[in-house]
Chains A and B, each alone.
Chain A
Amino acid sequence: MSTLTQTATAAIDGTTRPRNAVAGLARDTWIVMVRELRPVLRDPFSLVFSLVQPLMFLVLFGPLLAGSLTGTGVLDGNAWQWFLPAILVMTTLFGTASTGANLLYEFQTGAHERMLVTPLSRPSLLIGRSLKELVPLTGQALLLIVVMIPFGFQLHVLGALAGLALLGVLGIGLGSLSYAVATAVRRQDWMFWVVHQTVIFPLMILSGMLLPLETGPAWMQAAAKANPLAYVVDAERALFAGDLTSPVVLWGWLAALATAAVGLLVGIRLMARSAD
């Protein structure tokens, strides 16, 4: 038992925890992120399973899209080139928007409360969780890209890498917002799914993911202007076409960064008060 106490005294003295606030936050964030990743990595099949939905859209919706849009001038030749970047955004949206449910579960079981009594900084509890989203979403995107190459999807490596990075920033933002919603409604957990469903479909349809908005009414096009996802979808299409310098790419980055900034800010503020 004496060894027990010895190994732990360092922790009580606090000597091994970094004194620098930034280093401390980075360390805490890393601990939270790795903890969140563990269940994902221990059960990688869950990632494959969550690909069923985007694959359905690719397999069942893609051919219809190609059929109905050929000759309209929206698609020049290869429908996958137009559709897959959007499906990657969709995967990001659906994957990260529901991630708040994991936090809700930890609110209910008591695991979050335990974390709140430890020296972990409050912001790290949000940032670590949001950064964790990068791993599943990058893994899923890579899988989808690899699956579609045999069907004629043309890969521009530099553009694709930039596209993945952009998805990552968007995912951090959407994930943070999802955690923020979970924190805000933790006492009425059913509200989480109400908000989720109410927000996710307008966001998806008004981004021009599935069908081009150019054929929609003017009010829809106006509404899409206020949807950050619409800019990201356009940017992803340009990037996956190998066009890294198009202005839509810049707009996409701005939209994704704004989403991430707002998400992290709101998420961190709510997390700080999550014990009440």
Chain B
Amino acid sequence: MIHTRMLAKDFTLNRSETVHAVKGIDLDIHAGELVAVLGPNGAGKTTTMRMLTTLIAPTSGTAEVAGYDVVADAAKVRRRIGYVGQGNGAGHTQRARDEVYTQGLVYGLDRRAARRRAEELLEGLDLTELATRKVSDLSGGQRRRLDVAIGLVHAPSLLFLDEPSTGLDPQNRANLWQHITDMRTAYGMTIVLTTHYLDEADSVAERVIVVDHGQVIADDTPDALKARLAGDLITVTAATAEAGAQLAQLLSRLEGSREVASDGLKVSARVRNGSRSLPGLLNTARLAEAGVEAVQVDRPTLDDVFLALTGRSLRESTGTAVPTTSTNQKEAA
């Protein structure tokens, strides 16, 4: 469905400064996949998506989307893909139904078919009652659902979603995703989305492509990424300092063990499989008479993956995912 080779994009700021936003990306995304492109702001996610959706031409490299080259056959690509951008696709001065209807005409439906299609999509996305509302009067979540309805008018086999849930509260995000997954089942769509919400990528995507500084730095299922790059975090609280030292020894011998840390009583380590390692660990501890007070296993997050890959936390480099403190808000105001 998508094949890119050495896809790159430079932006010339002025005569002496050029930003290499995307530095030679090779991607192969197959029909039916649901892929999340994850990375901090400025990593090249949106630039990549804008190239794949024919909005901007690559500086070098090639991209084939839905069977056609994005530069040579841009018109054919446009006919086959759906796109929900970062902003609002629906014009704010328009009425909700009118925009879906217009989009149908744009893709070549006749008036009757376009009208029927608009009704179907509005119903499918729970917008029927808002059909005659002006877009500017809709809430953020409603507007986003309308954007998705507009993007689905021609039942594209490939749908691009650029930061689909930014600015939505958790309830609206869950609701939006419910609708998107329903539509995906109905059409058998391939979906490519960008996001900087870790939990979103984790929960909805079947495959996560991590990008940083314009390059793909990891590409796998969320579980495989976590198992391979982060691993489970086992934290053991020892009864005595002596037991703590013994437990640290035992932890370092577990399969895939690394990052063994100890602050006296509390000892922790990352291991390949926490829940499978635990019974053996406790057994050995009892035999060695090292007293254990408490045990905890934490599954890794995609942030741990990003941290392992780059040495930086995605939360820190993204900014928006961090809840702002009251002092920050005062400064901003």
Q: Which residues of A contact B (CB under 8 A)?
A: 1, 3-5, 7-12, 14-17, 28, 31, 34-35, 38-39, 42, 102, 105-106, 108-111, 113-120, 275-276
Q: Which residues of B contact A4 (CB under 8 A)?
A: 117, 120-121, 124, 155, 186-187
Secondary structure of the A side of the interface? helix
**Is the pair A5, B155 in contact by a Cβ cutoff of 8 Å?**
yes
Q: Does B320 contact A (CB under 8 A)?
A: no
**Is the pair B56, A114 in contact by a Cβ cutoff of 8 Å?**
no
Instruction: Tell me the count of chain B residues lying within 8 A, CB to CB, of chain A.
Output: 49
Chain B residue with minimal CB distance to A274? Answer: B55
11 pairs, CB–CB < 8 Å, chain A vs chain B:
A1-B124, A4-B187, A5-B187, A8-B107, A11-B79, A105-B93, A109-B88, A110-B85, A111-B87, A119-B79, A120-B106
Given A14-B108, A16-B108: A8 and B155 interface contact (C-beta under 8 Å): yes
Q: Does B173 contact A (CB under 8 A)?
A: no
**Is the pair A111, B109 in contact by a Cβ cutoff of 8 Å?**
no
How far apart are A63's CB and chain B's nearest CB, in angstroms? Answer: 37
Given A7-B117, A119-B79: A113 and B87 interface contact (C-beta under 8 Å): yes
Q: Which residues of B contact A (CB under 8 A)?
A: 50, 53-56, 75-76, 78-81, 83, 85-95, 98, 102-110, 113, 116-117, 120-121, 124, 147, 150-151, 153-157, 186-187
A61 to B27, CA, bound (A): 67
How far apart are B224's CB and chain A's nearest CB, in angstroms? Answer: 32
Q: Which residues of B contact A5 (CB under 8 A)?
A: 155, 186-187
Q: Which residues of B contact A111 (CB under 8 A)?
A: 87-92, 94
A15 to B113, CA, bound (A): 14
**Is the pair A12, B55 in contact by a Cβ cutoff of 8 Å?**
no
Given A4-B155, A110-B88, A110-B89: A116 and B55 interface contact (C-beta under 8 Å): yes
A8 to B116, CA, bound (A): 11
Contact of A17 among B91, B102, B108, B157 (CB under 8 A): B108
**Is the pair A113, B55 in contact by a Cβ cutoff of 8 Å?**
yes
Q: Which residues of B contact A10 (CB under 8 A)?
A: 108-109, 113
**Is the pair A9, B155 in contact by a Cβ cutoff of 8 Å?**
yes
**Is the pair A39, B93 in contact by a Cβ cutoff of 8 Å?**
yes
Q: Which of A1, A3, A15 has the most CB of B within 10 A?
A: A1
Across the A-B interface, the 4 shortest Cβ-Cβ residue pairs: A110-B87, A8-B155, A114-B89, A16-B108
**Is the pair A1, B186 in contact by a Cβ cutoff of 8 Å?**
yes
Q: Which residues of A contact B50 (CB under 8 A)?
A: 275
How far apart are B299's CB and chain A's nearest CB, in angstroms? Answer: 35
A217 to B311, CA, bound (A): 73
A5 to B185, CA, bound (A): 12
Contact of B92 among A11, A14, A109, A275 (CB under 8 A): A109
A9 to B110, CA, bound (A): 13
Given A7-B109, A8-B154: A114 and B79 interface contact (C-beta under 8 Å): no
A66 to B54, CA, bound (A): 59
Q: Which residues of B contact A102 (CB under 8 A)?
A: 93
Chain A residue with minimal CB distance to B50? Answer: A275
Q: Which residues of B contact A11 (CB under 8 A)?
A: 79, 104, 107-109, 153-155
Q: Which of B102, B110, B116 has the most CB of A within 10 A?
A: B102
Q: Which residues of A contact B108 (CB under 8 A)?
A: 10-11, 14-17, 119
**Is the pair B156, A12 in contact by a Cβ cutoff of 8 Å?**
yes
